[in-house]
Structure 1
Amino acid sequence: MNAIKKPRKITNTFAKRWAEFVIKFKWPVLITTLALAIGLGSNGNMEFDGDYHVFFSKSNPELEAFDALQEKYTKDDNVVIVLTPSNGDIFTKENLSAIEELTAEAWNTPYSSRVDALTNFQHTSAQGDDLYVDDLSYESSTKTDAEIAIIKQKALKEPLLVDRILNKSGTVTAINVTVRLPGKDSAKEIPEVTAFIRNAISDFKTKYPNFEIHSSGLVPLNTAFFESSMNDLMLTMIMLIIVIITTFILTRNIYSTVATFIVVMFSIMSAVGFVGLMGIKLTPPSSVFPTMILTLAVADSIHILITMLQKMRKDGYNKKEALVESIRLNFMPVFITSLTTVIGFLTMNFGDVPPFWDLGNITAFGMTMAFLYSTTALPALMAILPVKVKVKKETSGPEKISWYKSLGHMVVKQPVRLTIISIIVIGLLTFLATKNRFNDEFINYFDETVTFRTDTDYISENLTGIYNVEFSIGSGESGGINNPEYLRKLNAFEDWLNQQPEVVHVNAFSEVARRVNRSMHGDDENYYKVPDSREEAAQYLLLYELSLPFGLDLNNQINVDKSETRVTVTIENIKSADMIAFSDRAEAWLQNNTPKPMHSIGVSPTLMFSTLGFRQADSMFTGNIIALILISIVLMFALRNFKLGLLSIIPNVTPVLVGFGFWALYKAQINTGMVIVFGMTLGIIVDDTVHFMSKFLRARRELGYDAKEAVIYAFETVGKALVTTTIVLLAGFAVLSTSSFALNSYMARITLIIIFSALVIDFILLPSLLILTSKKNTSKETIKELNPQVQLDK
């Protein structure tokens, strides 16, 4: 008995002395924590990085392959401006003139290296041995109706235009601006390009109101990431207001609300300082850290405050006695929940997405500081503030049973039935959880309130696909792209790609070779094929390149020594798994039908995002297992009971399974942001388990209650605190669920389900299991005889 009580006695003694120390030196403690928070906060430097590259680690193989392709050719960061005239016909004098004007203006875009449009498309023709390459439509305002009709006829027959720059019906067209960002400061370069494009579009709309305009591309994608970061950061202000109101309603004490607010602000200030000290640049996932910390930090304070106020209202303690007793009862549970939350967030470092590393590290630091402030600044403030509560008067009539005590009585009457029902429900939802599928389409990272999303959807439906896969097809020798055998194989690959159901457009050098060969033979369709000899192919290529204007050369398709060419395949907006399957299918075709130098792997930002969720899931698996083991070990030591430590795994893991089961009914699709939910929520939901089990064990060890009485005691003493913290957590993640960024909103939505499920499981399944697995303990009278100091009252 003494061996059992000794560790707890040490813990209780420390917590009691700690509380007495903080209360005695309340002003120095408060000033010291204020100085610490301000000192850390003064180092804060919130910089944002909207470049999509931040989602990929430097060792990511898909990123390495994509960067290698861009080094061979040209970087393809771009802006696509899509124009739809109200009259439904691109090919009018007025419309072509407007497009020509906007194309010329697009060349002034900062860092622009190329502008592709309908009007400046390089159309080939030949007279004798001379090859002529001209803009498809120049000085459009001077064209006759007959000339425009010829231009339309040529354009709608041109494979390099249709389904890429021009739709099949000639009602929608695009201007593609390629930019070469220096990459020195994306926070400056991307906004610079975006500002110019937006101004150009605004001016164009003013001058030509008959055009509907949409824009997409990698630069607008980066801009959407950046603006999502800023918008999500603003959610913190909304959440702060909700927390203040919720805390006041639930504690019914203005001073508790003030103290909670100060602890939260200290914690966020410290986290902001950590961001600056570590040189972290915020991204859409990591920018939600203030909301995370705000939500989670409140839980620490709530437990201490509610216990303190309960002691004052129900038991008649004065403020100091209540504060000391609250710290004594809650110090260890709050420490454990803070520790497990930190462990959960740190497991994000096992993943393959750097922004989630940052989110995990920042939140972990913020939660560490939240524990420090909730056990120092909070009690110091409550000791200083004139807290007064109305003491509950004893009545001569029958005692009114609280809702929580009633729930406890209901549970202890039927633990077997509740356990069986819980296992059946959890088992069913766990089965449903297996029906979720990964889908990381980056377009769906944004909801329909984001202009980038709606514009991209419009472009996909009316002109061309936004997703693509690229291949660098080698010949094995310098100048080898002029080898007729190479060109025939490349042509065969192009034809195979065009036959695939998901393919919208294929841009390959073999098309250029066929087109020039036809032009050099008097536009005879019989010569619309690759040249028959290497010399002929080399000569035609040289003539074509010499005829191209500056900025519209073939550097984006052919490498420097003409040993490789780039094939760009535009595909429909398909699911991640289908995207990966298509790339694998194309790679397999090359391996089976071409010589080894032509074998290539598919790369593109689209493909990188498609594989991101799968790679994140694989890498997070180890982290989640480690988190589960560490948290279980912490609970075993904290509870000083191996059996209960193992038992705690059930209420800590099952809410996640239940959450994903409900998600299968809601969406059945999970993205990269949701992969981290297991490790993240594992630390959060431990809060309910630890506080319930700690009160259960106190009743068993200190008060000598049997299992059923201990469960009722736990409900009565900690039930309100658990409900209160759950409401605050639900409020916080509910605000985050309104984010326009799906990685954050989906993560928040499933976390809402998991947190609510955790409370239900901790109120139904956990107490039932505690009763069923507990041995009959020594009676209260025997406990009294062994230790007369034990108080049997609450």
Structure 2
Amino acid sequence: MSSVFLDRYTAFILHYRWLVIVSAVAVMLVLTAGLQFITASNDWRDNLEKNDPHLLAFDALEDTYSATNAALIAVAPKGGSVFTREALGAVEELTEVGWRVPWSTRVDSLTNYYHSESVEDDLNVEQLVDDVGSLSDDDLARIERIALGEISIAGRLVSRDGRVAGVVISFALPDENSNAAVDEITGYVRNLLNEVRVNHPEIAYHMTGDVFVNHVMTEAVDDDMQILAPAAFLVIVCVAALLLRSLFGTLSLVVVLIFVIGSTMGVIGWAGMVLNAVNSGVPIIIMTMAIADSVHIIEKIMSGMRQGLDRNAAIVESLRDNAWPVFLTTATTMIGFLSLNASDSPPFRDLGNLVAFGMLSAFVYSMTLLPALLSVLPLRVRPGSTGRSAFFDRFGAFVVARRTLLLWSMTAVAVALITGIPRIELTENWLEYLDERYEFRRDTDFVVENLTGMENLEYSLNAGREGGITDPDYLRKVDAFAEWYRAQPEVA
């Protein structure tokens, strides 16, 4: 950008400053109006393309068998074993009320499990736990022996040490408004557990399951938007105020940030994008990156005024010196985030596009609204140099004087850090999206450590012909496959 063009451009901005300010406000209001159309999704399917082969395979599996939306409630007696009348009574009570949870289709637990065994030439099938209140000690011992020896429930409905039991509730969610159904289920189960905790204070209850994941992810997004983003904004403003040491300089910076964030978030609504756990961090990313444009311009203006320039002359000089660096920084940052469009996951593409738009907005507002705003605000500075200038002068002299030592030492540090790259592990464990302040994370950790795993692998084993699933050879292969999996160290 030539200095002549920039000087003419800045003169235009300053001459029509009120028109520029009003126009910027109008654009911001139009874009920000899109906030009313923002929707948040707690559906994990939004992370994949509609034609993703993995999603299509999963849908085919559910169409062939059934959907796998489930909740698991762990029952952990504080006294130890679940094979007591009190603990089994709590499991039985929870099993019965589990059928009343909205959208529930099935409830599995120790108390409604049917056990089959052969007696001479007969096959007896009976409920493993029947009429808990009348169970004798021998009955309890028999139930424990059978439950811990039954591969279909040990490690799933009861821990292998007999200290934790599980109640699994399966759900058939509606195709429409599934988010509302998940919210309804979560609220119902939470209230249910609050009631049973009162009835059984000596028993701990832990709720987890994939049906709750979507709801908790939405809560995490809300927390980020309502707590983390404002906190980050406050910290950024406070640091900027300390560095700029100018009330109106900081105020103009705040105005630009508000315009940038409002415009970018409004685009989410206008574009019909969905807010989720991946792109909910857009405001924080934009704040931390977009602030640099305005800070450079404001600091240069204040530096020029300290050297004796009047305000408008300082604005002209600041834009002349900073326009190209700010443009270059904005362009390269946008290119970097736009590269996320190569991702297979739509939320990551949305994240890249939104941050790129935010950076573009920051550049436009910094080159239009900011100089116009600073020209009308009573911006004042104390003449003379600042302590910061003297510090950086000394720091620059230090770097130049020891350039060789710093070059090799920093190269060594960089190489040492690069060696950590092979240690990076790529994973997509949804549980690690949450920290321990969320009860769901703590409950799930307890279940994984004490009862069963939360990640399932499901296979559809085609027999190759109609009625082939009854073929003895097919059944032997299926059994061998199952036995092989059971022998794997991480299979619960």
Match of 2:21 in 1: 30
Match of 1:214 in 2: 206
Any idea what the Cα deviations from partners look like across 1:617-639, whole Å, max 9, x if unmatched?
xxxxxxxxxxxxxxxxxxxxxxx
Distance 1:445 1:393 in 2: 47
Distance 1:466 1:225 in 2: 16
Amino acid at match of 2:16: F
How do 1:489-504 and structure 2 match up within 5 A? 489-504=477-492
- The unaligned stretches of length 5 or more in structure 2 are none
Distance 2:454 2:47 in 1: 19
Secondary structure of 1:191's partner? helix
Q: How much does 1:125 deviate?
A: 5.0
Secondary structure of 2:423's partner? coil
Q: How much does 1:414 deviate?
A: 4.1
Any idea what the Cα deviations from partners look like across 1:523-545, whole Å, max 9, x if unmatched?
xxxxxxxxxxxxxxxxxxxxxxx
Equivalent pair of 1:52/1:225 in contact (CA under 8 Å): no
Confirm whether residue 52 of structure 1 aligns to residue 41 of structure 2: no
Distance 2:222 2:354 in 1: 17
Which among 404, 409, 412 is matched to residue 421 of structure 1?
409
Distance 2:398 2:256 in 1: 37
Equivalent pair of 1:80/1:217 in contact (CA under 8 Å): yes
Equivalent pair of 1:85/1:95 in contact (CA under 8 Å): yes
Amino acid at match of 1:284: A
Aligned pair in 2 of structure 1 residues 224, 439: CA closer, same or farther (>3 Å)? same
Distance 2:299 2:423 in 1: 41
Secondary structure of 1:82's partner? strand
Equivalent pair of 1:345/1:361 in contact (CA under 8 Å): yes
Distance 2:385 2:486 in 1: 83
Amino acid at match of 2:205: I
Confirm whether residue 16 of structure 1 aligns to residue 4 of structure 2: no
Q: How much does 1:468 deviate?
A: 2.5
Q: How many residues are aligned here?
A: 490
Confirm whether residue 317 of structure 1 aligns to residue 325 of structure 2: no
Distance 1:259 1:204 in 2: 55
Q: How much does 1:79 deviate?
A: 0.7
Larger RCO: Structure 1 or Structure 2 (Cα < 8 Å, ≥ 6 residues apart)?
2
Distance 2:418 2:78 in 1: 52
Any idea what the Cα deviations from partners look like across 1:173-213, whole Å, max 9, x if unmatched?
00011112123234312111111111111111111111111
Distance 1:500 1:42 in 2: 55
Distance 1:106 1:309 in 2: 67
Larger Rg: 1
Equivalent pair of 1:232/1:284 in contact (CA under 8 Å): no
Aligned pair in 2 of structure 1 residues 446, 400: CA closer, same or farther (>3 Å)? closer
Match of 1:381 in 2: 373
Secondary structure of 2:176's partner? coil
Q: How much does 1:78 deviate?
A: 0.9
Amino acid at match of 2:416: L
Q: Which stretch shows the higher mean deviation, 495-504 or 382-391? A: 495-504
Distance 1:288 1:131 in 2: 59
Any idea what the Cα deviations from partners look like across 1:275-309, whole Å, max 9, x if unmatched?
00111111112111111122222111101000000
Secondary structure of 1:467's partner? coil
Match of 1:486 in 2: 474
Any idea what the Cα deviations from partners look like across 1:437-477, whole Å, max 9, x if unmatched?
33433322322222222212211221112222222111112
Q: Which stretch shows the higher mean deviation, 485-494 or 375-384? A: 485-494
Distance 1:393 1:51 in 2: 56
Structure 1 vs Structure 2 CA RMSD: 2.2
Amino acid at match of 1:462: N
Q: How much does 1:347 deviate?
A: 1.0
Q: How much does 1:131 deviate?
A: 5.7
Amino acid at match of 2:436: E
Secondary structure of 2:460's partner? strand
Confirm whether residue 80 of structure 1 aligns to residue 72 of structure 2: yes
Distance 1:393 1:119 in 2: 80
Confirm whether residue 248 of structure 1 aligns to residue 241 of structure 2: yes
Aligned pair in 2 of structure 1 residues 232, 474: CA closer, same or farther (>3 Å)? same
Distance 1:151 1:412 in 2: 79
Which among 285, 299, 310 is matched to residue 278 of structure 2?
285
Which among 122, 144, 169 is matched to residue 114 of structure 2?
122
Amino acid at match of 1:489: K
Distance 1:423 1:295 in 2: 27
Distance 2:436 2:114 in 1: 37
Q: How much does 1:252 deviate?
A: 0.6
How do 1:125-140 and structure 2 match up within 5 A? 125=117, 133-140=125-132
Q: How much does 1:355 deviate?
A: 1.8
Secondary structure of 2:461's partner? strand
Match of 1:147 in 2: 139
Match of 1:224 in 2: 216
Aligned pair in 2 of structure 1 residues 477, 404: CA closer, same or farther (>3 Å)? same
What TM-score, normalized by structure 1, do the two folds share? Answer: 0.59
Distance 2:452 2:484 in 1: 19
Match of 1:272 in 2: 265
Q: How much does 1:363 deviate?
A: 1.4
Q: Which stretch shows the higher mean deviation, 113-122 or 39-48? A: 39-48
Distance 2:162 2:26 in 1: 67
Amino acid at match of 1:274: V
- The unaligned stretches of length 5 or more in structure 1 are 1-7, 505-794
Distance 1:401 1:265 in 2: 29
Secondary structure of 1:213's partner? strand
How do 1:384-533 and structure 2 match up within 5 A? 384-392=376-384, 402-504=390-492
Distance 2:232 2:416 in 1: 34
Secondary structure of 1:182's partner? coil
Match of 1:192 in 2: 184
Amino acid at match of 2:456: N
How do 1:156-171 and structure 2 match up within 5 A? 156-171=148-163
How do 1:362-761 and structure 2 match up within 5 A? 362-392=354-384, 402-504=390-492
Q: How much does 1:326 deviate?
A: 0.7
Secondary structure of 1:256's partner? helix
Q: How much does 1:334 deviate?
A: 1.2
Identity of aligned residues (%): 35
Distance 2:134 2:488 in 1: 42
